[in-house]
Amino acid sequence: MCRRKLILLVSSVFASLLIAVAGEYDCDVAVIGGGSGGFGAALAAARLGLDVALVEKADCLGGSSVRGGVNCWEMAVGTTGIPFDLYKELKRLPNAVSIYSFGRHGGTFDPKRETFRYPGGETVSDPGRRYLDTLQRYVPRGDKNTPAYRREHWHGVPFEPEAMTKTMRALLDATGHCRVLLNTAFVAADASEGYIRSIQLSNGTRLCARYFVDSTGDGAVCAAAGCQMMFGQESRNRFNEPDAPETATRRVNGVTLIYRATPVKELRIEPLPEAISAKCWWTKNFPGAHVNHYPNGDLNINMLPTMEGDQFMRLGYNAAHAECQRRVRAHWHDWQVRIEEFRRYRLSWIAPALGVRESRRVVGEYVLTENDLLAGLSGQKHPDIICLADHMMDTHGGHSKHRGDLIEPYGVPYRCLIPKGYRNLLVACRAASFTSLAASSCRLARTMMQMGQAAGTAAALAKQLNVDLPAVPADRLRAALRQQHVQLEHPMPAALRAYLEKE
């Protein structure tokens, strides 16, 4: 280890110990939540020289992308800044990351070429693809969403979770400006008149900051500060969304407990514990799943979904997680019984955390709606767009709704990150200011990371200009993001494309 890196590491460890014993700590930016959005916010702010404290309740960084088993970035437009930096670092490690192309799919079964109907969809590693190939989901006008189109244009980024969390930490430590507090939960907020003064942490620390970023996933900081929150499906007339229900509901997107299977030489059906039924007890049939191949050949299996969102909310996290573990084992047993190919694998890992797609969302200075998604970038008039997205509206469970792929990308305004009425607080996670329908589209990990990059950059500009966060000039923020290689225009500018081609 070089001398500079050693000094930075020692400094970071010392600072973390100091926080733990001091009882009170001051910093420029406090980021609560170390998932994709929190990581992006902390790294952007620290790279720009701000003193950052990143608080994470788990024992590692990465959130759903690591502990939730979502060990793959789906194809997504605009994810060119910090996500690309992270990808380049992962490429330095053996079997840490790859690019996928689409393989078999149950909906396109060809008995002349395949021996069985695949129980869902599959992606496989494709060494001929590059990061640039992962930056499109939408289907342009004149093209059709066909199996051939998906194989040619849709590519994602599977990765090893341990490599991801270690690389995240290494990038943060390399800045010399970020203190990471793991195994530390947010407890309470001292807030009034549009400002958060400090937050209380589970280790007894009182954390004071000039700016705060809520990246908790469910908007815990915003809720504790008294921000107006949304939950469930909004009624059609609230935001004039054509696909919203007539009346508001408490329904949320389904949750998944992802699991992993490892290839072995011996063909065998693993025994199912006696307490678990071999027949599906929560739906008529076992749900299908999306299967990604890890760089080393293991399978990442994502049921769609494992549990309805409203049942998850009724049971509570711990009971829901325990029930989903039973469902995972039943699901895997069913696959092995019915399909010989899966007898060549063994269930090797169940994610320690549930993959939660939707929870509370804050009401911001602007609420992103289905109308923004349908208008696309060419139809939006927002001067403050800070990241692009293009995923379809995508809900899982009994109220599943898939309108179809978008025909162009759309933009997320900076105002969606600002809780209404607050001056020193931003949101960079799935709890940002989106309707339920909009959230079902822009919830992907790399999009959250780009929102975090915008939040961290905005905090740096606010400090430089000595202003509150809502007063950060949109043109200055967008210019700063472009300097960090963030795509804000579509089609992609030639200079940015040239930069990405040097992976």
Q: Identify the pLDDT of residue 427.
A: 98
Question: Hey, where are the domains in the chain?
Answer: 1-97+161-251+360-503, 259-350
- The CA–CA distances, whole Å, from 245 to 147, 310, 360, 373, 401 equal 31, 16, 18, 17, 11
Q: Identify the pLDDT of residue 173.
A: 98
Write the single-letter amino acid at 343: R
For residue 394, name the pLDDT band (cuts at 50, 70, 90). confident
Tell which wins on pLDDT, 397 or 169. Answer: 169
Task: Name the helix (H) or strand (E) containing 227.
Answer: none
What would the mean pLDDT of 363-386 be, rounded to a whole number? 97
Task: Name the helix (H) or strand (E) containing 11.
Answer: helix 3-22
Task: Name the helix (H) or strand (E) containing 301.
Answer: strand 299-303
Q: Mind listing the pLDDT tens digit for each residue in 109-151? A: 999 999 999 999 999 999 999 999 999 999 999 999 999 999 9
Write the single-letter amino acid at 416: C
Q: Identify the pLDDT of residue 23.
A: 84
Whether pLDDT at 22 is above 60:
no
Q: Mind listing the pLDDT tens digit for each residue in 460-483? A: 999 999 999 999 999 999 999 999
Q: Mind listing the pLDDT tens digit for each residue in 63-77? A: 999 999 999 999 999
Write the single-letter amino acid at 37: G
* 212 contacts: CB under 8 Å, gap ≥ 6: 29, 30, 31, 32, 196, 199, 221, 424, 425, 426
Write the single-letter amino acid at 42: A
Whether pLDDT at 1 is above 60:
no
Q: Identify the pLDDT of residue 404.
A: 76
Domain 1-97+161-251+360-503: CATH architecture, name and number where available: 3-Layer(bba) Sandwich (3.50)
Write the single-letter amino acid at 166: K
Q: What distance in Å separates the CA atoms of residue 423 and residue 470, rounded to the nearest whole number? A: 6
Q: Mind listing the pLDDT tens digit for each residue in 282-340? A: 999 999 999 999 999 999 999 999 999 999 999 999 999 999 999 999 999 999 999 99
- Look up residue 260 and give its two tokens: 């992993």
Question: Please, how many CA atoms are within 13 Å of residue 333, restricted to the half-sphere of its CB?
Answer: 16
Per DSSP, helices labelled H in 27-159 are 36-47, 82-91, 147-153
Task: Indicate the angle between helix axes 82-91 and 36-47, nearest 10 degrees.
Answer: 100
Q: Please name every residue paired with 121 in a beta bridge, in sequence order, or none if there are none.
A: 105, 290
Q: Mind listing the pLDDT tens digit for each residue in 203-257? A: 999 999 999 999 999 999 999 999 999 999 999 999 999 999 999 999 999 999 9
Q: Identify the pLDDT of residue 400.
A: 55
What would the mean pLDDT of 414-423 be, rounded to a whole number? 98
| Helix, strand, coil fractions of the chain, as percent rounded to 5 | 35, 20, 45
* 422 contacts: CB under 8 Å, gap ≥ 6: 194, 195, 196, 225, 227, 469
What would the mean pLDDT of 494-498 be, rounded to a whole number? 98
